[in-house]
Amino acid sequence: MKTVSTFQRLKDSGEKIAMLTAYDYSTAQVLDKAEVDAILVGDSLAMVVLGHENTYNITLDEMLIFVSAVARGAKNSFIIGDMPFMSYNLSIEQGLENAGKMIKSGANAIKLEGCNEHIVNLVKRCTETGIPVLGHLGFTPQLMNTLGGHKIQGKTSDKIEAILESAKKLEEAGCFGVVLELMPADSAKYITENLKIPTIGIGAGVNCSGQIVVIDDILGKFTDFTPRFVKKYANLHDEILKGVELYKKEVKTEIFPSEKQSFELDKEEKEKLKN
Ligand code: KIV
């Protein structure tokens, strides 16, 4: 059974932490079987599942549906629920109450983006209340408009030091780890080496304590765009297309359903119908 302490144990032992996103019951079952170190129900689902252009439009109530589906599918995994935009930014009370809803829906921990006084205080209150928190620094999609778009972060020593300072604040406040998104590998290495808690990289090179990627990206299911840091391990889009096209052809040509997929009427009843 994986718990929050698995993260620190893996960092301390030098074993990399392998995390993936999941959004639905059957995918969660597969990740559970593969024994990934943790599953993130990321707000990226706004884009890859719901078709929004960015992550701003997903609500907490929508996120909770996917968190509970993943929790039903991945009974042995450590599940992290991503707090969506504006579900924790208004007040400590709002953030704490909504973090509680994530846990009640089946998450074992939550993830918050960014670092300011409010976030630090919220991390403290959540951890005191028994809600583990994963931080998220570097490129933070919920702050995309103030960051000026999809830009690589931590490109100068000043900026790297600023990210490290934020990461240390999150560590001190009680975060059990911090996601580092979209930054040069050397920047992430420096931050990782100067933190006690593990870092989980996405587009941040091999020197983080672990990696997280969006499952629809690495399995080639989401094809609107593919970030440079994504490696494709399968091509589900093409596989699904092939299956759907064959199904369509077989329906049109009456190959499907065959006898094997059909139910027989009793002979007697068949006769009655004829008469
Ligand atoms: O929403 C998400 O999926 C994420 C990551 C990939 C880190 O935040």
Q: What is the pLDDT of residues 170-227, one digit of tens each?
A: 999 999 999 999 999 999 999 999 999 999 999 999 999 999 999 999 999 999 999 9
**In the prediction, which pLDDT does 2 show?**
84
Residues 21 and 143 in one domain: yes
Residues 268 and 187 in one domain: no
Residues 25 and 50 in one domain: yes
Residues 265 and 145 in one domain: no
Residues 197 and 252 in one domain: no
**In the prediction, which pLDDT does 204 show?**
98
User: Do 122 and 88 touch, CB atoms closer than 8 A?
Assistant: yes
Q: To test the ligand 1 pocket, which listed residue (17, 20, 21, 66) has its Cβ within 8 A of the most ligand atoms? A: 21
**254 catalytic, yes or no?**
no
**In the prediction, which pLDDT does 1 show?**
77
Beta-carbon contacts of 92 under 8 Å, excluding residues fewer than 6 positions away, are 118, 121, 122, 125
Parent domain of 255: 239-274
Residues 256 and 140 in one domain: no
The CATH code of the domain that includes 183 is: 3.20.20.60
Average pLDDT for 91-107: 98
Residue nearest to atom 8 of ligand 1 (CA): 42
Residues 227 and 246 in one domain: no
Distance CA 43, CA 102 (A): 13
Residues 57 and 167 in one domain: yes
φ, ψ for residue 201, nearest 5 deg? -90, 145
- Whether 211 is in the pocket of ligand 1, judged by its Cβ within 6 Å, is no
Number of structural domains (the chain) is 2
pTM for the complete prediction? 0.96
